Amino acid sequence: MSRESGERLARLELLWVGVYLTGALLALRLVQLQILQRAEYQQLAEMNATKIIHQTAPRGVIYDRRGTPVAANQEAFSLIYIPPKKGQPAPDLEFLAGQLARELGRDRDDLLETLQQAVHEETALRLAENLPRTAMFRLSELKAIYPGVELIVEARRHYPFGRFASHLLGYMGKMDSRAWRALKSKGYRVDARIGKIGLEAALEAELRGHDGGLRMLVDAQGRLKKKLESFPGLAGSGVHLTIDEAVQKAADEGLRGSGTGKGAVVALDPRSGAILALASAPDFDPNAFLSSDPKVVKQTAASAEEFNRAISGTYAPGSTFKVVVGAAGLNEGRFTIDDAIFCPGYLEWGKNIFLCWEHRGHKRMTWFPALTQSCDVYFYRMGLRTGGPLIEKYGRMFGLGAKTGIALKGEQPGKLFGPAMREKAGLPWYDGDTINLSIGQGAMVVTPIQMAVLMAAVANGGTVWRPYYIDHIAYADGRPAFKQSPEKLGQVTLQDHAWWDLHEAMRLAVSSGTGVAARVAGLEVEGKTGTAQNPAGADHAWFISAAARPGELPGVAVAVLVEHGGHGASAAGPIARTVMMAAYGMEDKKPAAAAKPGAPGLEAMPRVGVPVPARVR
């Protein structure tokens, strides 16, 4: 064999060796793929042909103080679109958008944008939520025609009492782009709904559950073939409120039935500051914001008044402020219950004339009949004796001029009108300002919740509580439950005789005076009417009150404001009455006929609630 032939043979042998080695390597790789890593690659193959369909977890249920659900969940159908896999032809999205728009009553361009977003992001997106069964049956026919259109069952937020406590509970809605940027890192999907106002917004972190889902086998066009597995979600935490369903209902219905349908009611437990009712009117049905019809949602959003008058509305307190004037003057000895003045129906002071609401005059007035009949001239005189600085000081002690600290957005601090504020502004204070302040007029404004806190402090003997609405939260993740404790913000300290005189006068105002419309048989009720002048229209009507069973401490304090309601006695008093009756589980009965002023002896009348010694005259 020649040298050249040997070299060719050697090269050929090397080539065959290379072929054998390559074959061996391919065989080993095949063994690895088919046997050793079969399960892993099978899973990857399945993942490439599957889609995760997220299912909204049930939101945490909100209960009233007795365990009645006031915000719950119910089964609902959602329409989703699953886009085809990348590289596969997509259906005519414009045609599909047109078909769905007709079935859903939606804007075609809006639906087209959602479909295009799903294709671009290669993820399933919701096209509609909370679909009624009639729509679900119609859409199930489209599902058989258009690949990727599917219906799934989810949990839907539901408010069983409709407009009940709507400003407190709030409502849910879709996120805007700003909210999405802030929440996407916390696991929120772009089509998720969040709380917008009220408790739904304030307790979003607690109420939100962790969504579950389904891993579905899909074909190249995005059609679902079968369910591979499910991922159970975790419901949100249960929130138990201090709100009493019966008291809240009485407050809501009372405002709706008022002459104007505008105003606010706040009812507190004066022993702790727990809120029994917080109502604002006009109200709205939060269910409407979850409608499957975008037109209904849009119309609701445009017409619903989100303004919460209970915490954000500011009004002159009118004659309800006479309680503060009386507390300051009696406690500081600036006047006594026996100091008398003559009311001719007006007070002439300098070059000005200040009228009494009773233009014929109340004639001779002392403390008890003056508060009972709400004589303005008496309080003009006693306000001047007490002085603007002291009145302002006591108003601040009762919490006026500052936020109450309720854990809701939008609370206003009001404005406590007085010499100190004038001095800060570099302006003088005049006697005429004190006269106006003495009947709750002038530049001072308060919120209904501030007046409820004030009334609660009067009822309990001086403790100013921070109002709160959460009793406890039962966390869904197993953490120990949160329990809210009452928080004391301040203390109004009056001498025993001042407390007795104040309570007795307010009790007389209900039993035989301007507040007789709030009288309740079987309860000891005290209160004060108020008619606040309003330069923008008819006067606002106020009534503040507290009630107790005989021999017990007061269990409810109420502040009622009816915008443009006119007289507090006729517009606000009856609402307060029904709220107090609801707090004690009493049936609504017509009040007894008004007693003649001054008929019963003052000494014979029991005082309301606060344990202070009998007044020594």
Which pLDDT tens digit goes with each residue over 324-358? Answer: 999 999 999 999 999 999 999 999 999 999 999 99
Alpha helices in 425-564 (DSSP H): 431-437, 448-460, 496-512
- For residue 584, what are its two tokens? 């004690």
Residues contacting residue 159 through CB under 8 Å, at least 6 positions apart = 70, 71, 72, 166, 169, 285, 286, 287
pLDDT per residue as tens digits for the range 493-522: 999 999 999 999 999 999 999 999 999 999
CA 123 – CA 116 distance, rounded (Å): 11
Confidence bin at 174 (pLDDT 50/70/90): confident
Whose tokens are 């890192």? That residue is 185
DSSP per position, 371-434 = HHHT-HHHHHHHHHHH-HHHHHHHHHHTTTTS----SSTT----B--SHHHHHHTT----HHHH
Model confidence at 10: pLDDT above 70: no
Do residues 361 and 455 lie in contact, with contact meaning Cβ atoms separated by under 8 Å? no
345 contacts 358 by C-beta, under 8 angstroms? yes
- Beta strands 363-365 and 341-343 are antiparallel
Which pLDDT score, from 0 to 100, does residue 236 have? 92
Provide CATH 3.40.710.10 ranges for the chain. Answer: 245-283+314-604
Nearest to 525 by CA among 543, 546, 509, 505: 546
Kindly tell me if the per-residue pLDDT of 247 is higher than 80.
yes
Please say whether the beta carbons of 376 and 357 come within 8 A.
Answer: yes
* CATH level 2 (architecture), domain 245-283+314-604: 3-Layer(aba) Sandwich (3.40)
Are the beta carbons of 293 and 492 closer than 8 angstroms?
A: no
pLDDT score recorded for residue 266? 98
- Chain region(s) in the chain for CATH 3.90.1310.10: 57-212
Q: How many residues does the chain have?
A: 617
Q: Among the listed ranges 106-110, 243-247, 249-253, 494-498, which one has the minimum average pLDDT value? A: 106-110
282 preceded by cis ω (within 30°)?
Answer: yes
Query: What is the pLDDT, as a whole number, of residue 346?
Result: 97
Tokens linked to 461: 């003997």
Q: How far, in Å, CA of 216 to CA of 212, rounded?
A: 13
pLDDT reported for residue 23: 67
φ, ψ of residue 437 to 5 degrees: the values are -60, -35
Neighbours of 74 (CB within 10 A): 11
Task: Return the pLDDT at 27.
Answer: 66
With a CB cutoff of 8 Å and minimum separation 6, the contacts of 179 are: 194
Residue type, 116: Q
The neighbour count for residue 144, using CB atoms within 10 Å, is: 9
Average pLDDT over residues 572-580: 97
Mean pLDDT, residues 307-322 taken together: 97
The pLDDT tens digits for 430-444 are: 999 999 999 999 999
Contacts of 387 (CB under 8 A, 6+ apart): 334, 434
**Percent of the chain residues past pLDDT 90, beyond the cut:** 58
Burial class (CB in 10 A: 0-12, 13-18, 19+), 346: middle
Q: What gap in Å lies between CA 539 and CA 473, rounded to an integer?
A: 41
Per-residue pLDDT tens for 437-484? 999 999 999 999 999 999 999 999 999 999 999 999 999 988 999 999
Give 190-224 pLDDT, tens digit per residue: 778 899 999 999 999 999 988 776 666 666 555 55
Question: What per-residue string of b and e applies to 376-412 under the rule 16 or more CB within 10 Å gives b?
Answer: bbbbbbbbbbbbbebbbbbbbbbbbbeebbbebeebb
227 contacts: CB under 8 Å, gap ≥ 6: 214, 215, 216, 217
Alpha carbon of 115 to those of 145, 192, 228, 398, 567: distances in Å?
Answer: 16, 16, 25, 58, 58
Output the pLDDT for position 37.
59
Decide: helix, strand or coil at residue 276: strand
Task: Check pLDDT > 90 for residue 144.
Answer: no
What backbone torsions phi and psi does residue 436 show, to the nearest 5 degrees? -65, -40
Query: For residue 102, what pLDDT band results from cuts at 50, 70 and 90?
Result: confident
Tell whether the model's pLDDT for residue 158 goes beyond 80.
Answer: yes
Mean pLDDT of 380-390: 98
| DSSP β-bridge partners for residue 195 | 172
- pLDDT tens sequence across 259-293: 899 999 999 999 999 999 999 999 999 999 987 67
- Tokens coding 557: 């304090």
Cα separation of the two ends of the chain = 146
Classify 458 as helix, strand or coil. Answer: helix
**Strands 212-218, 50-55: parallel, antiparallel or unpaired by DSSP?**
antiparallel
CA 603 centroid distance within chain = 44
Calculate helix-pair angle for 322-331, 388-397, nearest 10 degrees.
Answer: 110
Tell me which of 113 and 228 has the higher pLDDT.
113
- Categorize the per-residue pLDDT at 594 as very low, low, confident or very high, splitting at 50, 70 and 90: very low
**Tokens 């108020």 -> residue:** 530
Q: Are strands 62-63 and 238-241 parallel, antiparallel or unpaired?
A: parallel
Widest CA span in the chain: 149
pLDDT at 597: 35
Q: What band does 114 get if pLDDT is binned at 50, 70 and 90? A: confident
408-436 residue pLDDT tens: 999 999 999 899 988 988 999 999 999 99
Closest CA to 129 of 289, 285, 286: 289
Tell me the C-alpha to C-alpha distance, in Å, between residue 309 and each of 211, 283, 306, 449, 503.
35, 10, 9, 9, 28
608 pLDDT more than 60: no
Is there a contact between 615 and 504 (Cβ–Cβ < 8 Å)? yes
pLDDT at 56: 76
pLDDT band at 229 (very low <50, low <70, confident <90, very high): low
Superfamily of domain 57-212: Penicillin-binding protein 2a (Domain 2) (3.90.1310.10)
17-73: pLDDT as tens digits: 666 667 667 767 666 656 655 665 555 444 456 766 677 788 999 999 999 999 999
Of all helices (H) and strands (E), which one includes residue 551?
none
Query: pLDDT confidence of 98, banded at 50, 70, 90?
Result: confident
- Quick one: pLDDT at residue 87? 62
Residues 6+ apart with CB under 8 A from 209: 56, 57, 58, 59, 60, 233, 234, 235, 236, 476
Nearest to 591 by CA among 516, 483, 488: 516
